[in-house]
């Protein structure tokens, strides 16, 4: 029988306006403001890096650019996060999180005597939503999607209901809900592994209702106590969700010999696996599936493919246009010989894709962009420094000379390039090169007005001080300007 712990209804929850609680910095956060469906994982400081790495690799190959991807980490150094993301084939938003990402839940845990170092299971709900206006999956870092679920198209189109993963068997010895066990409907038996949310749905108000009815016991420890599971199950059961049963998404616990499909049912058509205990021990089921080729394992990722997660995508980060392709990146690097210890200015770094590749080759990179689209945190720990600045304003103030200058800008009109060129050319010395993306962008009809890079090349081809090389393909082309004297 369903618990009567609260008087609020599903209709009241659905009417709760999530945007009223979204931080006012949303306007400065284009990713969160997007409307494309998003899949998000949470990764903490456990032993399951290889599982999360493969989970993201698998998803980006399964779903391509139909959805966006987000990795939330807590207590993970930047180089470790980059390694987890290194097999992705699509852009991935990486966000290191803190208690400030969900202030109400942070304060609630503090009030219960829980130190931030002991938030444990609760970190999955920081923040409540990474993209409020879009369908969103919330997954543990040890969950791997093997194939598209039958309802995937319904979800990405925004027509699907909320879905929540479900236990299919509970014994009297099972106490997975902590002190909230009496709040949970034993017939529904939800658990927090995978939550599939429609756009605009808020659940945090439900957490508040549960915890107001029965506060956490003092002192609470989110790493040890199972109360988080109980609060989650009690909250989401009120939405009348569609359960995701174990026969569709079984457990593969590290200490068990067989997959757990629940109720003794073995199903060969499951579409995902939850590799339980991978956070604290090696999971033999995971490695066996990798060895069988059922889960992605990348053996030969070079620096260009390892940073695909930093490519700009096709506009989902709130800006028009598309990200730099791997083919263009390879051309640019090929035009910058002997990269170790070379001083490079990168203008228009976007999320840091090219800056990361150049730094990984040993270059000393100063990366600038008029907006910080995550480059500052994405490049942390590399030999690349991000500076938020307009290109022209930066060049007017900069006194250093660079060995190479790499440029990838929106707004490539001839008017803009005539204005910037005197300042740009003054920052390069003899033998230096300026490598510019979008050289043949104007050959694409909708970008015909962006002819400035091509026209610059035509002008400088008549100047004996400059050697001009044009890579017209692949689009949008690369122009290389080498100062001879």
Per-residue pLDDT of 180-203, as tens digits, reads 999 999 889 999 999 999 999 999
Model pLDDT, residue 263? 77
Q: Mean per-residue pLDDT for 255-282?
A: 88
pLDDT one-digit tens code per residue, 270-304: 999 999 988 989 999 999 999 999 999 998 889 99
User: Considering the chain, what percentage of its residues have pLDDT values greater than 90?
Assistant: 81
More confident residue, 284 or 173: 284
What is the rounded average pLDDT of the residues 334-347? 97
Residue 381 has pLDDT above 70, yes or no: yes
pLDDT-derived band at 25 (thresholds 50, 70, 90) equals very low
In this prediction, residue 3 carries a pLDDT of 37
Within a 10 A sphere around the Cβ of 255, how many other Cβ atoms?
10
pLDDT band at 79 (very low <50, low <70, confident <90, very high): very high
The CA distance from 222 to 465, in Å, is: 66
pLDDT higher than 80, residue 161: yes
pLDDT for the residue 264: 64
Residue ranges covered by each domain of the chain: 10-291, 303-483
**Mean pLDDT value across residues 413-428:** 96
The CATH code for residues 10-291 is: 3.90.550
pLDDT at 262: 85
Q: Write down the mean pLDDT value for the chain.
A: 90
Q: How far apart, in Å, are the Cα atoms of 115 and each of 75, 122, 280?
A: 14, 12, 21
Tell me the pLDDT tens digit for each residue of 97-149: 999 999 999 999 999 999 999 999 999 999 999 999 999 999 999 999 999 99
What fold characterizes domain 303-483? Rossmann fold (3.40.50)
Could you read off the pLDDT of 438-473 as tens digits, one per residue?
999 999 998 899 999 999 999 999 999 999 999 999
Contact, 348 vs 438, CB < 8 A?
A: no
Tell me: pLDDT of 68 over 90: yes
Q: Compare 247 and 485 and report the one with higher pLDDT.
A: 247
Task: Name the band, by pLDDT with cuts 50, 70 and 90, for residue 174.
Answer: low
Question: Do 91 and 324 meet the contact criterion of CB atoms below 8 Å apart?
Answer: no
Region 393-402: mean pLDDT is 96
Name the pLDDT band for 314 (thresholds 50, 70, 90): low
- Give the residue carrying structure tokens 């599971």: 229
Q: How confident is the model at residue 15 (pLDDT cuts 50, 70, 90)?
A: very low
Confidence (pLDDT) at 20: 43
Query: How far is it, in rounded angstroms, from Cα 47 to Cα 142?
Result: 10
> What's the pLDDT band for 82 if we cut at 50, 70, 90?
very high
Weakest-pLDDT range from 76-90, 165-179, 352-366, 388-402: 165-179
Higher-pLDDT residue of 86 and 262 is 86
Specify the pTM: 0.91
């Amino acid at each position: 029988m369903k618990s009567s712990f609260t008087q609020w209804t599903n209709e009241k929850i659905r009417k709760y306006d999530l945007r009223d609680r979204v931080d006012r910095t949303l306007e400065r956060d284009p990713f969160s403001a997007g409307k494309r469906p998003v899949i998000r994982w949470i990764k903490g400081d456990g032993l399951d890096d290889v599982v999360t790495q493969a989970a993201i690799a698998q998803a980006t190959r399964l779903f391509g650019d139909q959805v966006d991807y987000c990795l939330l980490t807590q207590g993970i150094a930047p180089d470790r996060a980059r390694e987890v993301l290194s097999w992705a084939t699509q852009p991935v938003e990486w966000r290191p999180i803190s208690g400030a990402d969900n202030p109400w839940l942070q304060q609630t845990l503090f009030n219960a005597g829980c130190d931030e170092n002991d938030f444990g299971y609760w970190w999955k709900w920081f923040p409540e939503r990474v993209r409020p206006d879009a369908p969103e999956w919330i997954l543990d870092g040890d969950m791997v999607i093997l194939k598209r679920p039958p309802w995937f198209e319904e979800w990405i189109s925004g027509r699907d209901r909320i879905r929540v993963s479900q236990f299919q068997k509970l014994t009297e010895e099972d106490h997975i809900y902590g002190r909230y066990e009496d709040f949970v409907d034993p017939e529904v038996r939800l658990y927090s592994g995978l939550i599939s949310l429609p756009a605009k749905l808020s659940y945090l108000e439900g957490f508040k209702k549960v915890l107001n009815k029965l506060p956490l016991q003092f002192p609470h420890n989110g790493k040890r106590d199972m109360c988080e599971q109980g609060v989650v199950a009690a909250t989401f059961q009120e939405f009348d969700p569609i359960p995701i049963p174990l026969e569709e998404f079984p457990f593969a616990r590290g200490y068990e010999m067989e997959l757990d499909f629940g109720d003794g049912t073995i199903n060969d058509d499951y579409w995902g696996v939850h590799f339980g205990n991978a956070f604290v021990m090696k999971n033999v089921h995971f490695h066996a599936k990798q060895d069988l080729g059922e889960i992605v394992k990348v053996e030969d990722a070079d620096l260009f493919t390892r940073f695909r997660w930093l490519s700009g995508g096709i506009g989902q980060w709130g800006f028009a246009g598309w990200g730099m392709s791997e083919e263009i990146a390879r051309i640019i690097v090929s035009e910058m010989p002997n990269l170790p210890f070379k001083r490079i200015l990168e203008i228009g770094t976007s999320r840091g894709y090219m800056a990361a590749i150049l730094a990984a080759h040993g270059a000393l990179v100063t990366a600038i962009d008029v907006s910080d689209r995550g480059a500052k945190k994405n490049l942390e720990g590399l030999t690349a420094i991000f500076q938020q600045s307009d290109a022209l304003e930066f060049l007017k103030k900069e006194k250093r000379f660079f060995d190479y200058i790499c440029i990838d800008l929106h707004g490539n009109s001839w008017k803009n390039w005539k204005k910037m060129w005197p300042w740009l050319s003054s920052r390069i010395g003899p033998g230096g090169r300026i490598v510019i993306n979008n050289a043949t962008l104007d050959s694409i009809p909708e970008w015909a007005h962006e002819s400035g890079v091509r026209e610059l090349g035509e002008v400088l081809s008549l100047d004996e001080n400059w050697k001009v090389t044009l890579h017209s393909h692949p689009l949008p082309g690369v122009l290389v300007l080498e100062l001879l004297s």
